[in-house]
């Protein structure tokens, strides 16, 4: 007879880890980002880089709120002012990266929305670890 406590199932372990919630928030933020970009650039014919920047900043507001309240448990108890400053310092770096990647890939002939998606994925990988270890700790 085994006296060790039962281990949690894989699904419970996945649900308790912040990565799946981070992915959901990232998906919602990405839809807001790409949707705003499509409206501004594709629909209203705003210039690509300003439209990209505006869309990125709109989605960052959504991203901060959900990551602070739902994804990273330290976010709810940490100092919001410090978290906002760190978050937006990272947003500034992400914005620069997004503009460089989106502008560069579209200059090479890639459709602007696909270029935006590449930039979003590249930034998301780094952001998970930076949010967890620096912004919302």
Q: What is the mean pLDDT of the chain?
A: 87
Structure-model confidence comparison of residues 100 and 120, the more confident one: 100
d(CA 121, CA 135): 19
Mean local confidence (pLDDT), 46-59: 91
Which of 8-17, 59-68, 103-112 is most confident? 103-112
With CA atoms as reference, report the closest residue to 26 among 60, 74, 55, 3.
Answer: 60
Domain boundaries, the chain: 17-135
Q: Does pLDDT of 64 surpass 70?
A: yes
With CA atoms as reference, report the closest residue to 97 among 126, 76, 77, 65.
Answer: 126
Report if pTM > 0.85: no
């Amino acid at each position: 007879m085994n006296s060790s406590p039962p281990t949690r199932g894989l699904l419970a372990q996945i649900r308790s880890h912040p990565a799946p919630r981070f992915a959901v928030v990232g998906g919602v933020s990405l839809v807001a980002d790409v949707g705003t970009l499509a409206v501004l650039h594709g629909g209203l014919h705003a210039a690509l880089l300003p439209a990209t920047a505006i869309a990125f900043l709109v989605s960052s507001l959504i991203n901060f709120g959900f990551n602070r309240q739902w994804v990273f448990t330290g976010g709810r108890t940490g100092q919001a002012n410090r978290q906002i400053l760190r978050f937006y310092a990272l947003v500034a770096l992400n914005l620069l990266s997004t503009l460089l990647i989106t502008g560069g890939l579209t200059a090479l002939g890639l459709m602007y929305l696909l270029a935006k998606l590449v930039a979003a994925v590249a930034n998301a990988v780094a952001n998970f670890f930076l949010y967890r270890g620096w912004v919302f700790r």
